[in-house]
Amino acid sequence: MGHGNETQTSEFLLLGFAEDPEVQPLLFGLFLSMYLVTCSGNLLIILAIISDSHLHTPMYFFLSNLSLCDICLSSTTVPRMLASIQAQSRVITYAGCITQMYFFLLFGGLEDFLLAVMAYDRFVAICHPLHYTVIMNSRICILLVLGSWTMSFTQSCLQGLMVLRLSFCSHVEIPHFFCELRQMVQLACSDTFLNYLVTYFVAVALGGGPLVGVLFSYCKIVSSIRAISSSQGKYKAFSTCASHLTVVSLFYCTSIGVYLSPAASHNTYSGAPSSVMYTVVTPMLNPFIYSLRNKDIKGALKKCFGRKTCKVPFVLW
* CA–CA gap between residue 267 and residue 273 (Å, rounded): 14
Q: What are phi and psi of 296, to 5 degrees?
A: -65, -45
* CA–CA gap between residue 293 and residue 202 (Å, rounded): 34
Is residue 168 pLDDT above 90, yes or no?
no
Residues in the chain: 317
pTM to 2 decimals? 0.87
Percent of all residues in the chain with a pLDDT value above 90, rounded to a whole number: 37
DSSP state of 204: I
* CA–CA gap between residue 45 and residue 68 (Å, rounded): 9
What are the structural domains, with CATH classification, of the chain?
Answer: 3-306 (1.20.1070.10)
Locate all alpha helices (DSSP H) within 128-137, ordered by sequence.
Answer: 132-135
Q: What pLDDT shows up at residue 301?
A: 76
Q: Is 115 helix (H, G, I), strand (E, B) or coil?
A: helix
pLDDT in tens, 66-93: 999 999 999 999 999 898 888 888 888 8
Is residue 150 pLDDT above 50, yes or no?
yes
Q: Residue 148, exposed/middle/buried by CB under 10 A (0-12, 13-18, 19+)?
A: buried
Q: Residue 43, exposed/middle/buried by CB under 10 A (0-12, 13-18, 19+)?
A: middle
Tell me which residue of 10, 173, 8 sits closest to 93, measured CA to CA: 10
| DSSP E strands, the chain | 11-14, 91-93, 173-174
